[in-house]
């Protein structure tokens, strides 16, 4: 029973990290209709950026998270404004090709710059935990979960309550009407993509504190983010949090009762089940 409780705790904390990883992908997909196949590569770059800030400047990955997010936002804004805006209204196949190409280029540039060695961000508290009787809550994972919850709620409030957030939602729902109200789509698309990549950079900072990083983790992370976005639904940022928690719990329970090699099989099995039963996602709006 203690082992099951420990696995459930680890699954919830892992799910929170998954949620913040998928948040940027869901935002870009939901607003721009771009399935960003390079999203995991941007998470990887955020992790390396946080690693360099900690290793060479001594900046704690959680304290340096805003700086990482801002730098990655600038990268995302420049990429969207200079490259992706050219195909933003093109067929989805075109955007899939161009983002896949970005993923390949970023992966091999990262290998060239950082080598293929595994690295981790190890602040002094990385191995600490909070004891709850026979259970232990890993401190770094708990902090990552807290940041994930804050970012998810923050994005939800931003989209619902701010002028820019309402403009983003309006553009996603009706581009012609948004233009009539003075919205400049190209700038807004770039801002949205920049926010998505900034969130990916923040997720990379968190990921580097709880797992090893190398240039090739991007494809796996993109697949997980895709699954989370579908499971939770694209209409509501809180759905991404729910999708992340579901995926984290399913993976942890599968590893406990079936085996470590079946974690991903169970995750994508749940994805298929959700697509059959509720295609709009757990918190998505039904037609």
Q: Specify whether the CB–CB gap between 237 and 27 falls below 8 A.
A: yes
Q: Please, are residues 52 and 63 in contact by the beta-carbon 8 Å criterion?
A: no
Question: Which of these ranges, 105-114, 165-174, 190-199, 221-230, has the smallest mean pLDDT?
Answer: 165-174
Domain parsing of the chain, residue ranges: 2-277
Query: Are 197 and 75 in contact, with CB atoms under 8 Å apart?
Result: yes
Task: Tell me the C-alpha to C-alpha distance, in Å, between residue 38 and each of 178, 199, 217, 223, 251.
Answer: 28, 13, 11, 10, 23
pLDDT digits (tens, 9 = 90+) for 181-239: 666 778 888 999 999 999 999 999 999 988 889 999 999 899 889 888 888 876 667 78
Place of tokens 């390949």: 104
Q: What pLDDT, on the 0 to 100 scale, is given for residue 210?
A: 85
Does domain 2-277 fall under CATH 1.10.3470? My reply is yes
37-67 pLDDT, tens per residue?
999 999 999 999 999 999 999 999 999 999 9
What pLDDT is recorded for position 267? 77
pTM of the entire structure? 0.91
| pLDDT surpassing 60 at residue 266 | yes
């Amino acid at each position: 029973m203690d082992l099951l409780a420990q696995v459930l705790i680890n699954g919830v904390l892992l799910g929170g990290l998954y949620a913040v990883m998928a948040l940027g992908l869901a935002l870009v997909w939901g607003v721009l209709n771009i399935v960003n196949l390079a999203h995991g590569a941007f998470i990887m770059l955020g992790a390396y950026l946080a690693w360099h800030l900690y290793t060479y400047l001594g900046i704690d990955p959680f304290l340096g998270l805003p700086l990482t997010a801002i730098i990655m936002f600038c990268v995302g804004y420049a990429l969207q404004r200079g490259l992706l805006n050219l195909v933003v209204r093109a067929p989805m196949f075109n955007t899939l090709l161009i983002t896949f190409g970005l993923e390949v280029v970023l992966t091999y540039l990262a290998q060239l710059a950082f080598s293929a060695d595994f690295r981790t961000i190890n602040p002094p508290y990385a191995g600490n935990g909070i004891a709850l009787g026979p259970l232990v809550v890993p401190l770094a994972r708990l902090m990552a979960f807290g940041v994930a919850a804050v970012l998810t709620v923050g994005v939800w409030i931003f989209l619902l309550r701010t002028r820019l957030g309402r403009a983003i939602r309006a553009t996603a729902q009706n581009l012609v009407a948004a233009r009539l109200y003075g919205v400049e789509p190209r700038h807004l698309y770039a801002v949205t993509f920049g926010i998505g990549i900034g969130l990916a950079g923040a997720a990379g900072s968190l990921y580097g504190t709880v797992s090893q990083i190398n240039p090739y983790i991007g494809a796996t992370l993109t697949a997980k983010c895709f699954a989370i976005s579908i499971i939770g639904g694209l209409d509501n940022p809180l759905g991404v949090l729910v999708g992340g928690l579901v995926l984290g719990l399913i993976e942890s329970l599968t590893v406990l009762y079936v085996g470590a090699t079946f974690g991903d099989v169970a995750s994508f099995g749940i994805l298929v089940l959700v697509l059959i039963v509720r295609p709009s996602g757990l918190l998505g709006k039904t037609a």
